[in-house]
Chain A
Amino acid sequence: MTITKIKKDHLRLIFDRLKDSYKLVGPRVENDVIVLTEMDFHDIPAGYKDLHGKGVYRLSGNKDSNTFSFSLGPDSFKRFLSPPVREIFAFKKSKKGISANVSSKEEKPTAFIGMRACDISALKLYDKVFLEGPVRDTGYDSLKRNSLIIAVNCLYPNGNCFCDSLGTGPEVRDGFDLAITEIQDSFLLETGSSKGSEILNGLTIEEVSDKEMDEKNSRTEDCKKTIKRHIKVNDLPWVIYRNPEHPRWTDVASRCLACGNCTQVCPTCFCNSSYDRLELSGISKKSREISGNKVRAWDSCFSKNFARVHGGNFRPSRRARYRHWMTHKLAYWIEQFGSPGCVGCGRCITWCPVGIDITEELEAIRK
């Protein structure tokens, strides 16, 4: 891994270079929230600061001289690699039989701009679920395969970050094509793949001095030090398995709205359900034909229908659903995939309408 630097105003050139062959997806301000959308260099919310509390988010501009002064919004890569609503195939049933057509569109691959360490860790978990399991998700594979990841090392954590406790951040270690670290006068660039080094071909890149390396390290250390929230993981998963009847589950169920927001913003929640989309025009009584589409959409274990099977529902109460969600994140995942399903991004805390805090709930269950 080599580390070089570019002048601050040369960052634009990287964007210009990528634009031809990639769809650029990165942070942009929309209605006072930093969202992830298609964007360009001038959309970077430079100087913006985002305040995160329990169920509270506020954004303000012109607060900082750094370009990457902000932290995470509600969106993550999953919006693009496992789209919220996706058509899987079109089908037709007639007298002759049933036929299905997989719809595939040739699209530009995605370049993710400014992905943070926590999301990169989450992306690795997504790979485990969709690519390394017994069934390979071809849709995810085709979207992921040619994508490019331009990572950014966090300068400031937000009030709900706890990546440090899980070892998923704040420093980007691997899983990127190019990683940017912002220092006072320049951007330090680490290449993580051949695709990453190709981007730099022809740019005026400079050597990095020891002093600048020190600045990079001290900035990372400062970021780590300012992380306020922590989660204890050494007794997972057993602390949860031992407490299925803890009174705290009832307490959290009285606050939980079971709205599903936490699962929708979580970068590792991967649950989907699929259904048939039919139109009135797709049904013909005369020729006895039915045609429609199989659609896949994000689902959530907080929805009551999620655990409904023939003959009943095995998680009918909010208490059971919250317990299941947290137990899956912090316990079952370890057995299923070898690590907790939480990367400490804190999105579920910020975007919970009533501010339920997973770190606090785990601590309460320990008592």
Chain B
Amino acid sequence: MKRPRIGVFKFTSCDGCQLSIMNLEEKFLDLLELFDIAYFRETTDRPLTGHFDISIVEGSISTAWQKNDIVDIRERSRYLITIGACATAGGLQALRNWGSITDYKNYIYPSPVIINVLSTSTPISEHVYVDYELWGCPINEKAFSETLISFLIGKKPGIPIYSLCMECKRMGLPCILVSKSEPCLGPVTRAGCGALCPYFQKPCYGCFGPKEDANIESLLKQFQNMGLTQKECILLLDKMNTYAYRKAKIERS
């Protein structure tokens, strides 16, 4: 039987999610047994040719030519899976969606005129149909291999959509929101990271994006009762998943 062809593509992002794939280490060899990695710039020089059974896309759409490229990739793919906060929610660079692109250019670049970008950074799903989204900044490599296995054997990936709290409680980690009044985004954030921050007594800052049916308004109200200002609350949401959190907040209220 032929191995399914995989292509790994990148748009505006830090490459961290692609590195997570390589962090599979010896399991990466198992992956090569089962799949043909036909395009993956981070690891090989193989040129972009033909069609793919699965396209894995990292990064957000933030330039005009990326808008065309993603359509081309979609046309070459049977399934398209986005990986990471950038591809799934627009990434940290989506902060510019709430400001002026000219201002940002002037703050950062010595010669802003040469920067030719769109005024927004948007997730892949706003441009083409996406079959499956993997959240996280970066993604969890176990979730990644689970997704590929699911493709192979034809099942639905067993990736949680419930809150991080469930993961925390399973691990027996005492809740820092309740016991220390830390502004933890856990109750409105997807599980999947293995409760990395709460494990070290640090509040969750939402790498995995909003969970299904996230009641952000109510949690922020509780943060305000704990003494945070409204502005500080919004800043908590304005990280790598700012676009998704703010959207969820508006849609629910």
- In the complex, whether A120 has a CB less than 8 A from a CB of chain B is no
Minimum C-beta distance from B208 to chain A (A)? 14
Select from chain B the residue with minimum beta-carbon distance to A73: B174
Q: Which of A55, A258, A280 contacts B34 (CB 8 A)?
A: A280
Establish whether residues A350 and B169, one from each chain, have CB atoms under 8 Å apart when the complex forms: no
Establish whether residues B188 and A279, one from each chain, have CB atoms under 8 Å apart when the complex forms: no
Establish whether residues B149 and A280, one from each chain, have CB atoms under 8 Å apart when the complex forms: yes
Q: Which of B166, B186, B188, B218 contacts A303 (CB 8 A)?
A: B166
- Given A281-B27, A354-B219: A305 in contact with B161 (beta carbons within 8 A): yes
Interface residues of B in 6-39 (CB under 8 A from A): 24, 27, 30-31, 33-34
How would residues 168 to 184 of chain B score, 1 for a CB under 8 Å from any chain A CB and 0 otherwise?
01111011111111001
- Given A285-B3, A305-B161: A74 in contact with B174 (beta carbons within 8 A): yes
Minimum C-beta distance from A28 to chain B (A)? 11
- Given A259-B186, A261-B169, A318-B213: A353 in contact with B175 (beta carbons within 8 A): yes
Establish whether residues A256 and B215, one from each chain, have CB atoms under 8 Å apart when the complex forms: yes
- In the complex, whether A304 has a CB less than 8 A from a CB of chain B is yes
Complex Cα–Cα for A255 and B218 (A): 5
Establish whether residues A264 and B179, one from each chain, have CB atoms under 8 Å apart when the complex forms: no
- In the complex, whether B152 has a CB less than 8 A from a CB of chain A is yes
- In the complex, whether A59 has a CB less than 8 A from a CB of chain B is yes
Establish whether residues A278 and B172, one from each chain, have CB atoms under 8 Å apart when the complex forms: no
Establish whether residues B172 and A260, one from each chain, have CB atoms under 8 Å apart when the complex forms: no
- In the complex, whether A351 has a CB less than 8 A from a CB of chain B is yes
Establish whether residues A297 and B172, one from each chain, have CB atoms under 8 Å apart when the complex forms: no
Interface residues of B in 170-229 (CB under 8 A from A): 170-172, 174-181, 184, 186-188, 201, 211-215, 217-219, 221-222
Listed residue (B152, B153, B165, B171) with the most chain A CB atoms within 10 angstroms of its CB: B165
Q: Which residues of A contact B33 (CB under 8 A)?
A: 284-285
Number of B interface residues in the complex (CB < 8 A): 48
The 15 sampled A-B contact pairs (Cβ below 8 Å) are A57-B179, A256-B218, A257-B187, A257-B219, A260-B162, A260-B163, A260-B169, A265-B169, A275-B158, A277-B158, A280-B24, A302-B162, A304-B161, A305-B212, A351-B178
Q: B residues touching A (Cβ–Cβ < 8 Å)?
A: 1, 3, 24, 27, 30-31, 33-34, 145-146, 148-149, 152-153, 155, 158, 161-163, 165-166, 169-172, 174-181, 184, 186-188, 201, 211-215, 217-219, 221-222
- In the complex, whether A300 has a CB less than 8 A from a CB of chain B is yes
Minimum C-beta distance from B227 to chain A (A)? 13
Select from chain B the residue with minimum beta-carbon distance to A278: B149
Establish whether residues A259 and B179, one from each chain, have CB atoms under 8 Å apart when the complex forms: no
Establish whether residues A285 and B34, one from each chain, have CB atoms under 8 Å apart when the complex forms: yes
- In the complex, whether A200 has a CB less than 8 A from a CB of chain B is no
- In the complex, whether A13 has a CB less than 8 A from a CB of chain B is no
Complex Cα–Cα for A351 and B175 (A): 8
Q: Which of B149, B152, B165, B177 contacts A260 (CB 8 A)?
A: B165
Q: Which residues of B contact A55 (CB under 8 A)?
A: 178, 222
- In the complex, whether A84 has a CB less than 8 A from a CB of chain B is yes
- In the complex, whether A140 has a CB less than 8 A from a CB of chain B is no
Q: Which residues of A contact B149 (CB under 8 A)?
A: 278-280, 283
- In the complex, whether A79 has a CB less than 8 A from a CB of chain B is yes
Q: Which residues of B contact A305 (CB under 8 A)?
A: 161-162, 212
Minimum C-beta distance from B238 to chain A (A)? 20
Establish whether residues A353 and B166, one from each chain, have CB atoms under 8 Å apart when the complex forms: no
Q: Which residues of B contact A30 (CB under 8 A)?
A: 174
Listed residue (A256, A265, A285) with the most chain B CB atoms within 10 angstroms of its CB: A285
Select from chain A the residue with minimum beta-carbon distance to B31: A280
Q: Which residues of B contact A353 (CB under 8 A)?
A: 165, 175, 177-178, 184, 186-187, 219, 222
- In the complex, whether A290 has a CB less than 8 A from a CB of chain B is yes
Minimum C-beta distance from B188 to chain A (A)? 6
- In the complex, whether A43 has a CB less than 8 A from a CB of chain B is no
Listed residue (B166, B172, B186, B215) with the most chain A CB atoms within 10 angstroms of its CB: B166
Minimum C-beta distance from A266 to chain B (A)? 11
Q: Which residues of B contact A90 (CB under 8 A)?
A: none
Establish whether residues B158 and A300, one from each chain, have CB atoms under 8 Å apart when the complex forms: no
Establish whether residues B222 and A31, one from each chain, have CB atoms under 8 Å apart when the complex forms: no
Minimum C-beta distance from A9 to chain B (A)? 30
Complex Cα–Cα for A352 and B186 (A): 12
